[in-house]
């Protein structure tokens, strides 16, 4: 297995779309766990298959927001203030 941290300084990050069946399973996991947020970890094969590793209910994400420019802080704040808007 490749450890993504082995050459940490040379890594780049980009958003990826989550397939609808995976997204539905994640939402079901959150609902059944009573969570409003989870930092999910996956491993992906070269063929594009996703393997669920874990859900961190208070996972680290600020580093990823900085690296990608995604508005993660705002999204979590909105979720906590307003609830799910789907």
What pLDDT, in 10s, does the model give residues 43-65? Answer: 888 898 999 999 999 888 888 99
Report the percent of the chain where pLDDT is more than 90: 42
pTM: 0.77
33 pLDDT band, cuts 50/70/90, is very high
pLDDT at 36 over 60: yes
22 pLDDT band, cuts 50/70/90, is very high
Q: Which residue has the tokens 């704040």?
A: 77
Residue 48 is predicted with a pLDDT of 87
Exposure string for 10-48, b = 16+ CB within 10 A, e = fewer: eeeeeeeeeeeeeeeebeeebeeeeeeebebeeeeeeee
């Amino acid at each position: 297995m490749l450890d993504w941290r082995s050459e940490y300084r040379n890594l780049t990050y980009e958003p990826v779309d989550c397939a609808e069946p995976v997204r539905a399973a994640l939402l079901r996991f959150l609902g059944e766990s009573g969570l409003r947020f989870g930092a999910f970890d996956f491993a992906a094969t070269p063929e594009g298959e996703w393997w669920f590793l874990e859900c961190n209910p208070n996972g680290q994400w600020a580093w990823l927001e900085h690296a990608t420019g995604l508005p993660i802080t705002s999204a979590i704040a909105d979720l906590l203030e307003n609830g799910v808007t789907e």
